[in-house]
Amino acid sequence: MKRDNINALSAPQPRGGYSQAVSIENFRRLLFVSGQVPMNSSDIVPDGIEAQARQVWLNVDAQLKAAGMSKADIVKVTTYLADRHHLAANREIRNDYLGALAPAMTVVVAGIFDSAWLLEVEVVAAQ
């Protein structure tokens, strides 16, 4: 698969951790991971944005592994936050998980299905 991160010079430049666009060619598979919520397999929701963000990324990682993929295959991330005050903590934990990867990314502040959840994350991955 050929993957190119694109950041047009005539558009705003990303401020770390993502690309304005990601082009993929010659891929075999696309995986669309539904919004992963901050709950473990025992239906426990941890307290606080940091713990919830870590749980969300554990859940994303589990879905990728179940499909025979890894975080290296992520090309798009959409994050829904319950409160804009969680932006910094979300960014820090997301960057810890993604490392040097720079997928296309969108963050939306929105009402979330369960009021106990502070965020939800969906991804698209390609191989």
CA distances from 45 to 34, 41, 77, 122 (A): 18, 10, 22, 18
3-state secondary structure the chain: CEEEEECCCCCCCCCCCCECEEEEECCCCEEEEEEECCCCCCCCCCCCHHHHHHHHHHHHHHHHHHCCCCHHHEEEEEEEECCHHHHHHHHHHHHHHHCCCCCEEEEEECCCCCCCCCEEEEEEEEC
Residue 40: predicted pLDDT: 96
Residue 5: predicted pLDDT: 86
The pTM assigned to this predicted structure is 0.92
Q: Walk along the chain (127 residues) and give the pLDDT tens digit of each residue.
A: 998 888 888 888 877 788 988 999 999 999 999 999 999 999 999 999 999 999 999 999 999 999 999 999 999 999 999 999 999 999 999 999 999 999 999 999 999 999 999 999 999 999 9
Residue 24: predicted pLDDT: 92
Residue 95: predicted pLDDT: 96
